[in-house]
Amino acid sequence: MTKIGILGAGAWGTAVAKVIAEKGNDVLIWSHSKAVLEDVNQRHTNSRYLPDVVLPNNLQACDDINEVVNGKEYLILATPSLYLLDTAKQLLTAPSIREGETAIAVITKGFLPSPKGPRLILETLEDYLPGFYRQSLVYIAGPSHAEEVSRGKVTGLIAASESPKNSIRFRNLLKSPRLLVFSSLDVRGVQVAAAAKNVIAITFGMLDALKNRTTSSGAEDIFGDGTESLLLAAGLNEIQTLGMAMGATHPETFTSISGVGDLDVTCRSVFGRNRRFGREIIEKNILKPFAGLDDIIDRIAEIGYLPEGVVAAKHIKALGEKFKLKMPISTGLYQILNREIEPQEFLNSFLEEMQ
């Protein structure tokens, strides 16, 4: 029996914990919510994030981060990007981390802020963790939804690392007949694809909500399934453009499951929070209470769920300016979230640019 710690008891952290525990491993998951702790430990479920999913008895929850981390062979970080760095800093007190005895992987999607601007997750964590972890962390992503993985739906993931050995170790830890895991050395490309696709998915959700509507003037709606595919393809191009600018080593990363696969499922699945947020921008005018993008981020808990693409939109805007990239979809979403333009105005101008 292998001992695994998972930091973050949201839907994705819990789903991954369930898969690992079902293989006979002892899994301890960290949560600061008393309700979640009681739910997992007493009723063997996480009804807040994964309703109606029964969890194995060897999956337990704890609110002491040191207990969850110390003495584990594997540690998986699953806290949202907004809180990931603060969580990582707490690892330094654990002896098994200080000595480099625990292999670490990250399943969080996004970028992290720094005095020099937005950075990728793994390179940022390497600056805080002991030197043992440089070029040995593993990043796990792919076209997946916690709701499906926790219910045994066949899914594929990528375990990317500069350390082939650690990539294989986490691949073996996670893989099952219904969870296929593949290795990659393109750590930077996989991270960019995982973060940037959430920005495209918010825009996709807006377009999806507008697809069957008529304009305020009563004119016939011009958006259809083909328009969505046009947006998806253009979005993939932006993701690849950003990825290569940030040091991706393999162009095929963006045509693999970590690129086009993850983008497609995030845009089209009913489980996608970013797609949902985009739809609610149109259907519920969800941006109305907010003054701009920074205000949304500061009050993001008021949304009721966490669309990671909101935070990523701010970072990608800065990265686009840094590398002098043309990314009209990402830039347009930033302007929408910052209350500079309206969604219909952006989509119309985007189509005009494509001509």
User: Annotation-wise, does 44 bind a ligand?
Assistant: no
In angstroms, rounded to a whole number, what is the distance separating the alpha carbons of residues 275 and 232?
A: 12
What one-character-per-residue DSSP string does 142-177 give?
-S--HHHHTTT--EEEEEEES-HHHHHHHHHHH-BT
In angstroms, rounded to a whole number, what is the distance separating the alpha carbons of residues 185 and 351?
A: 36
User: Annotation-wise, does 306 bind a ligand?
Assistant: yes
Tokens of 343: 């969604």
User: Annotation-wise, does 74 bind a ligand?
Assistant: no
User: Annotation-wise, does 148 bind a ligand?
Assistant: no
What one-character-per-residue DSSP string does 181-232 give?
EEEES-HHHHHHHHHHHHHHHHHHHHHHHHTTPPPTT-PPP---HHHHHHHH
User: Annotation-wise, does 144 bind a ligand?
Assistant: yes
How far are the Cα atoms of 110, 148, 209, 235 from residue 285, in angstroms, in the given order? 25, 29, 12, 24
Tokens of 59: 């999956």
In angstroms, rounded to a whole number, what is the distance separating the alpha carbons of residues 27 and 77?
A: 13
User: Annotation-wise, does 313 bind a ligand?
Assistant: no
User: Annotation-wise, does 287 bind a ligand?
Assistant: no
User: Annotation-wise, does 165 bind a ligand?
Assistant: no
Residue tagged active-site, from 72, 197, 314, 317: 197
User: Annotation-wise, does 292 bind a ligand?
Assistant: no
Give residues with Cβ within 8 angstroms of 355, minimum separation 6. Answer: none
Give residues with Cβ within 8 angstroms of 276, minimum separation 6. Answer: 205, 305, 307
User: Annotation-wise, does 11 bind a ligand?
Assistant: yes
User: Annotation-wise, does 273 bind a ligand?
Assistant: yes
Residue with tokens 């996709």: 204
Answer yes or no: 197 catalytic: yes
User: Annotation-wise, does 131 bind a ligand?
Assistant: no
User: Annotation-wise, does 46 bind a ligand?
Assistant: no
List the binding residues for substrate.
109, 273-274
List residues forming the annotated binding site: 8-13, 32, 49, 109, 142, 144, 146, 197, 262, 273-274, 306, 308
Binding-site residue numbers for sn-glycerol 3-phosphate are 109, 142, 144, 197, 262, 273-274
Q: Provide the annotated active-site residues.
A: 197
